[in-house]
Amino acid sequence: MHRSNLVLEALMLTTALILTSAHTGRAAADQGGAGANALIPPTPGPQDVPRAEPMEVGLAGDGRPDVLRFLNVRTAGRPSLAADGSQLAFSTAITGEPQLWVVDAAGGWPRQLTFGRPITFLAASPAGGWIAYGSDRGGNEREGFYLVSTDGTRERELLAPSDAFRVFGGFSPDGAKIAYAATGRTATDFDIHVLDVASGEDQVAYRGRRGLYVAAWRPDGGALVLTEARGEDANDVHLLDLARGEARPHFQPAVAAAYDGFAWTPDAAGFYLATNQDRDFQALAHYDVASGALRFLATPDHDVEGVGLSHDGRYLSWTTNEGGWSVLHVRDLVSGDDVPVPAALPRGVLRLTWAERAPVAAIEVSGPRVPGDVWTWDLAGGALHRATESATAGLDMAAMVLPEAVDFPARDGVELHGLLYLPAAAGIGGDAAAAKPPVLLAVHGGPTAQARPDFDPVLQYLLARGIAVLDFNYRGSTGFGKAFSRLDDRRQRPDAVRDLADAMAWLAADGRVDASRAAIMGGSYGGYLSFAAVATFPGLFDAAVSFVGVSNWVSALEGASPQLKASDRIEYGDIDSPEDREFFLSISPITHVDRVRDPLLVAHGANDPRDPPTESDNFVRAVRERGGEVEYLRFPDEGHGVRKLENRVILYRRVASFLERHLGP
């Protein structure tokens, strides 16, 4: 769980926008008291609450498609196959909010099964007949759990929404139970629950602690794989014996490592996984439970991701992250040969899941020219089908810009990374061939996340308007090795802020864009970096956009959700320590708000459990009190992201207008 990337989240239909923050109190004194600020409206005030706008999809003033058309490009994701592989459940927001749909695995006309609040996850039961899903309230991430029949005619509430945070852990292999982690006994500890689907009986299987979650069921249903957060990029692994109620540690290395995948063999003797234990990059490995032996099977110089295994243990699948692009691998463990991947499968970021009782895989693909759809692959017969085909709002997807992976050194020699998107035309009007385009520095959240070549409607719109984009992987990003992802931990955090200036210096030296006309935009941790950039390097950017960003690390770390608190102590430090507290106040943008000179657009959701909305409230107030230019959109019905189409329309119309106004053609 981390402070995630809103630029991508708006596409992937994740959650909402808020946080905390403590105003330093210096603003009123510096401005001469309340009388000097009498004409400044309160922040937040009615003027900051967005109002509904018409959603006609039309053309901009110059005849080109406006941003609304890009936002109406649909996506399908979160695939879950029926046990026999015949039907696919998936999520799409074609109605304006994420809902659960089903379609035949070979494709056809899909059917909508849920019609209420937006869903947050889905999982088809291995027993068939039911699909589980989650839903929260306005993006507050406190989910209720529900069942809907595969024909949509019946629905059951498994767990009503409450003040507890819950993390779904999947169905048991026979579909009779679900496991999940939840707070409630305390505000921050996650206990492990097992709920009987038929009776609704809910039992605490294990009294847990911070950052403890269910990763997988053992094939016999007698044990759960538990992961325990150890910072944002690592976890320890335990095996919980459900009969005894005992959790035995299996991975607790001296140097923290990541473990993911947990694809059990049918005999329950071991599992395949991806791990960077004793390595810089994640590798493909097999773990034998009885002996405790970890055997590496593939050790490339890039991360292994998405490990999976067919129900009969025959086909092992994984992807490699190569410059952000996914490369799919499938191996026949009976013959030992690699299975050729169908050439018709598009290039992009891939996620593969298997059916519970058939050699059928669902492959979710998102790329610059594939906004998000699902293919099914029957390995027994070799047939590949496009199960979903999302509408593209009349846009020519072949005209979407593909990025170039770039690497360049920071001032201290650390190699930085990014995806550079260059518009087909340099600008609008004038001699487009001779002009260099202005540039947007896009910074993802996390910080343990990665800029990857997904489809991003807003970035593609800006590219169509002649604005170049560097989707930047600053130090602390994942995908470039364990050492790189930890270069911003604790007292090294200001180094990532300096990376922003180094990226701009590289863009200027590279010469393909006009680095003198630049903006920065990011969400969550990227929102913090946007705040930090204008407070640390005033004048470097012509404008900045911050979504759900942190402005005061002291209040943000104190007010974070329990999932974040589990990893923050390692990633950031101990906020109860006077030394750490002083350090984090010193690097908080609110401390240096006097230096802000650049125009800002800020957005936050009032129900954000990760970064409380007061983080943006206080920063906006401080900038306004000092006479700065700032537009604020505070959504009352969103959390740590923007899910509703009408809200995304409001937000990104304002973002597009703001960036075009300050960067020019």
Reported as a single tens digit per residue, the pLDDT across 321-355 is 999 999 999 999 999 999 999 999 999 999 999 99
Whether residue 431 is predicted with pLDDT greater than 50 in this model: the reply is no
- Residue 56 has a pLDDT of 65
Strands (E), 524-650: 543-547, 600-605, 630-635
Q: At what angle do helices 525-536 and 493-510 cross, to 10 degrees?
A: 70
* Mean local confidence (pLDDT), 127-134: 96
Q: What is the C-alpha separation between 182 and 190, in angstroms, rounded?
A: 5
Q: Is 32 a residue whose pLDDT tops 50?
A: no
In a domain, 629, yes or no: yes
* Confidence category of residue 535, pLDDT binned at 50, 70, 90: very high
Confirm whether 445 is domain-assigned: yes
Does residue 26 have a pLDDT over 70? no
Given phi > 0 = left and psi -120 to 50 = alpha, else beta, which region is 245? left
DSSP, res 490: G
The domain total for the chain is: 1
Weakest-pLDDT range from 28-42, 284-298, 332-346, 432-446: 28-42
**Do 338 and 330 touch, CB atoms closer than 8 A?**
yes
Task: Grade residue 576 by pLDDT with cuts at 50, 70 and 90.
Answer: confident
Of the pLDDT bands very low, low, confident and very high (cuts 50, 70, 90), residue 62 is: low
Residue 475 has pLDDT above 70, yes or no: yes
Q: pLDDT tier at 560 (50, 70, 90 boundaries)?
A: confident
- Looking at the domain assignment, is residue 99 inside a domain? no
Question: What pLDDT digit, counting tens, does each position of 227-265 carry?
Answer: 999 988 999 999 999 999 999 999 999 999 999 999 999
- Confidence check: pLDDT of 425 > 70: no
In CATH, what number is assigned to the domain containing residue 453?
3.40.50.1820
| Residue 180 resides in a domain | no
At 450-473, the pLDDT tens digits run 999 999 999 999 999 899 999 999
> What per-residue confidence (pLDDT) applies to 10?
35
Task: Please give the average per-residue pLDDT across 564-589, as a whole number.
Answer: 86
Which range scores top for mean pLDDT: 59-73, 402-416, 565-579? 402-416
In a domain, 153, yes or no: no
Determine the structural domain holding residue 64 and report its residue range: 6-69+396-663
Give residue-wise pLDDT tens across range 198-238: 999 999 999 999 899 999 999 999 999 999 999 889 999 99
Mean per-residue pLDDT over the chain, rounded: 89
Q: Is residue 275 part of a domain?
A: no
29 Cβ partners below 8 Å, 6+ apart? none
Percent of all residues in the chain with a pLDDT value above 90, rounded to a whole number: 77
As a whole number, mean pLDDT of residues 598-623 equals 92
Token match 């809103």: residue? 6
Decide which of 235 and 52 is more confident. 235
The interaxial angle of helices 645-663 and 457-464, nearest 10 deg, is 30
pLDDT at position 61, please?
58
Range 436-449 burial, b when 16+ CB lie within 10 A, else e: bbbbbbbbbbbbbb
**Lowest-pLDDT range, 62-71, 106-115, 339-348, 466-475?**
62-71
Q: Is 338 exposed, middle or buried (0-12, 13-18, 19+ CB in 10 A)?
A: exposed
Reported in sequence order, the residue ranges of 508-653 that DSSP labels E, i.e. its strands, are 518-523, 543-547, 600-605, 630-635
Whole-angstrom distance, CA of residue 509 vs CA of residue 490: 31
Give the pLDDT score at 427: 42
Q: Tokens 């190699």 label which residue? A: 415
pLDDT digits (tens, 9 = 90+) for 579-595: 989 999 999 999 999 99
Find out whether 464 and 65 touch, Cβ atoms under 8 Å: yes
Domain contains 77: no
Per-residue pLDDT band at 20 (split at 50, 70, 90): very low
Closest Cα to residue 39, out of 624, 616, 617?
Answer: 624
Q: Which residues contact 139 (CB under 8 A, 6 or more apart)?
A: 15, 16, 17, 605, 607, 608, 637, 638, 639, 640, 641, 643
* H or E stretch at 530: helix 525-536
Please give the angle made by the CA atoms of 410, 10 and 436, to the nearest 5 degrees.
50
Q: Is residue 379 part of a domain?
A: no
pLDDT at site 30 = 31
pLDDT of amino acid 450: 96
Phi/psi at 249 (5° precision): -70, 140
Alpha carbon 364 to its chain centroid, in Å, reads 15
